[in-house]
Amino acid sequence: MAMAMSDSGATRLRRQLESGGFEARLYVKQLSQQSDGDRDLQEHRQRIQALAEETAQNLKRNVYQNYRQFIETAREISYLESEMYQLSHLLTEQKSSLESIPLTLLPAAAAAGAAAASGGEEGGGGAGGRDHLRGQTGFFPTPGGASRDSSGQGEEGKQRTLTTLLEKVEGCRHLLETPGQYLVYNGDLVEYEADHMAQLQRVHGFLMNDCLLVATWLPQRRGMYRYNALYPLDGLAVVNVKDNPPMKDMFKLLMFPESRIFQAENAKIKREWLEVLEETKRALSEKRRREQEEAAAPRGPPQVTSKASNPFEDDDDDEPDIPEVEEEKVDLSMEWIQELPEDLDVCIAQRDFEGAVDLLDKLNHYLEDKPSPPPVKELRAKVDERVRQLTEVLMFELSPDRSLRGGPKATRRAVSQLIRLGQCTKACELFLRNRAAAVHTAIRQLRIEGATLLYIHKLCHVFFTSLLETAREFETDFAGTDSGCYSAFVVWARSAMGMFVDAFSKQVFDSKESLSTAAECVKVAKEHCQQLGDIGLDLTFIIHALLVKDIQGALHSYKEIIIEATKHRNSEEMWRRMNLMTPEALGKLKEEMKTCGVRNFEQYTGDDCWVNLSYTVVAFTKQTMGFLEEALKLYFPELHMVLLESLVEIILVAVQHVDYSLRCEQDPEKKAFIRQNASFLYETVLPVVEKRFEEGVGKPAKQLQDLRNASRLIRVNPESTTSVV
């Protein structure tokens, strides 16, 4: 009862939606007023959704059922059109023949016949009459450079004619090796562009009994052609193009997925092309149908002649009889095999790639252990052409010209079918090329924010997320395939990392950011790169190799800045104690020195807010330790010597200045103060630098140890009054 009510409700709903005066806005308004609440609206929405899905399924089913009928109808229309052209051609010839015979010719012919019957001496005149009539009813030469092979020629004559003509065509020697092939028709044509109907080139068509050869003219060599294309007749459709002056006498050749338009010299030659193409296609189809029937027909066992029944057999011949081995036949009469090429065309047109590959697998499984007689070879030739078309469509699906939305999973369908078709290497290449284009597009679409670190966070998230998704999808799609694909992925990952580093360096290093900002950006990139280790992909060494030059340049630039600032402070040095004026400023300085690693800074502070150190030495200490901390964030083994040499150069500027001042100063109080600053540098700052470097790098630096242990680093002329830095 409930089912009946539900069906009746669905029927009423369908009729209401299909009515001519249906208005969606008014319908929704009435429905909202009549419903009791949200539940009624949800149920009504579900009914409409179910009705929409049912309608879509019915529409799809009807389209699929009528598709084959549409193909057959189009084929019958083509046959009917060809027959109408033949009928029109015959009527035109009959009319012209009747109009060419004058009425006065009939009495003259009768008188000539009577004279020939009454006297034998006038036999010569009768012969002349027969010659005249034979001249009226014989075959006329075909105008416009088109000729048709005489049906009276034997097989050798047809083959000889084909060989003679094709010797004038460059690049088609392989056509001469096909047995049983002969020339049916040939002639000059003009090819036009399908979209704008612009003339393209002059061609010459050679119609064989199983294919159509198109050759282009060679202007420099008269009477010679160059091979252009070869189309099997079973995959060729001929369509008449209606005359639309000045475009007339044209016909179209359809070869999935392309088409070409040709123009004949006149209407008569066009009709001959249309007729002979249809006749040759029909004859080829009939021939292959007979071959398949003969191949499928069972044969009786071979008859073996008894040796005793042959009176002429040599009794002394002791050689055993060798039975003749009959070639095994393959049954190709099954309906699904007969319709396989057309079914493949339908699947390709409907983008049912899985269905097409399933049909191919079914055929390959059926023919796996069977021989390959000519019918099987012909079937495989047809199927191979469809496989080529299917492969081209799948390759286009993976091309970067297609939409890159949907992520790596959007390519899984085309990749899996290419792998099933045995195109694993091509699938890998196209998949990686597609993902490279997607990554490049994603990086280009990033907005360059004002804050460099914010942009680097976004850049790393977009790039490394795409790389991680691509790696997981690659592992899913190519699991169990050739290991060479994984090598290709590693090469691709390195190339993609180069693309990332280009964008990274352009924003971080080319814009002359501070060393602290560059260190934070590199740290973020390293952290994201280490996430790839979850899937067994370590690209840290690649990002190090790609960034090493930029980091070296940044360290060198910042080192020069510190050296210049230290020299400037040294030139203004008065060797006075620092007065920070307030306890807050003194406390802040103590925290800063503690952060730098100087734990015993309390012993250098005096009463109130005084510090028993020079401002130059304190500033040098903070700047040097800051440089070391930021450089250690950028550190990796390739930068060891660069960082160590930069530190030595910076420290040398300070110790040289202190050494020179100590030897040149004459005031005892200032000399004692300089000696206290030198002690701070040698006994406090340099050990802290050495210890922090060893902690960050993992091994001690001999250059820093030698620098600390030296009491006098550089000997300067005592009489000199200028600082050597």
Quick one: pLDDT at residue 203?
A: 92
Domain range 178-294, its CATH number among 3.40.190.10, 2.40.370.10, 2.30.29.30, 3.40.50.1360: 2.30.29.30
Quick one: pLDDT at residue 146?
A: 63
Would the pLDDT of 162 be above 80? Answer: no
Would the pLDDT of 699 be above 60? Answer: yes
- 638 or 298, higher pLDDT: 638
Q: Assess contact for 629 and 697: CB atoms under 8 A.
A: no
Report the percent of the chain where pLDDT is more than 90: 4
Nearest residue to 708 (alpha-carbon basis) of 723, 688, 724: 688
What is the residue whose two structure tokens read 């993976």? 398
Q: Mean pLDDT across the chain, nearest whole number? A: 77
pLDDT tens-digit series, residues 302-360: 444 444 444 444 444 444 444 444 556 777 778 888 888 888 888 888 888 888 899 89
Quick one: pLDDT at residue 305?
A: 43
Joined tokens for residue 104? 């006065």
Question: What average pLDDT does this structure show over 378-395?
Answer: 87
pLDDT tens-digit series, residues 530-564: 888 777 888 888 888 888 888 888 888 888 998 99
C-alpha span between 687 and 690 (Å, rounded) = 5
Residue 142 CA, chain-centre distance (Å), reads 49
- 293 or 132, higher pLDDT: 293
Nearest residue to 208 (alpha-carbon basis) of 272, 149, 265, 258: 149
Q: Assess contact for 460 and 531: CB atoms under 8 A.
A: no
pLDDT tens-digit series, residues 85-94: 678 767 877 7
C-alpha span between 479 and 329 (Å, rounded) = 39
Instruction: Count the Cβ atoms, other than its own, within 10 Å of residue 246.
Output: 6
Least confident of 1-5, 348-352, 362-366, 411-415: 1-5
Quick one: pLDDT at residue 623?
A: 87
C-alpha span between 15 and 630 (Å, rounded) = 76
Contacts of 264 (CB under 8 A, 6+ apart): 144, 146, 187, 189, 249, 250, 251, 270, 273
Quick one: pLDDT at residue 264?
A: 93
Nearest residue to 704 (alpha-carbon basis) of 624, 603, 630, 633: 624
Question: What average pLDDT does this structure show over 623-650?
Answer: 87
Helices (H), 150-206: 155-166
Quick one: pLDDT at residue 137?
A: 32
C-alpha span between 593 and 625 (Å, rounded) = 9
C-alpha span between 502 and 65 (Å, rounded) = 55
Domain range 546-716, its CATH number among 3.30.530, 1.10.357, 1.10.150, 3.10.20: 1.10.357
Q: Per-domain residue ranges for the chain?
A: 39-87, 178-294, 337-512, 546-716
Task: For residue 326, give the amino acid letter.
Answer: E
C-alpha span between 444 and 448 (Å, rounded) = 10
Quick one: pLDDT at residue 453?
A: 86
Question: What average pLDDT does this structure show over 589-594?
Answer: 85
Would the pLDDT of 71 be above 60? Answer: yes
Instruction: Count the Cβ atoms, other than its own, within 10 Å of residue 382.
Output: 17
Question: What average pLDDT does this structure show over 633-649?
Answer: 87
Quick one: pLDDT at residue 328?
A: 64
CA dihedral 625, 628, 629, 630 (to 10 degrees): 120
Instruction: Count the Cβ atoms, other than its own, within 10 Å of residue 614.
Output: 23
Quick one: pLDDT at residue 483?
A: 62
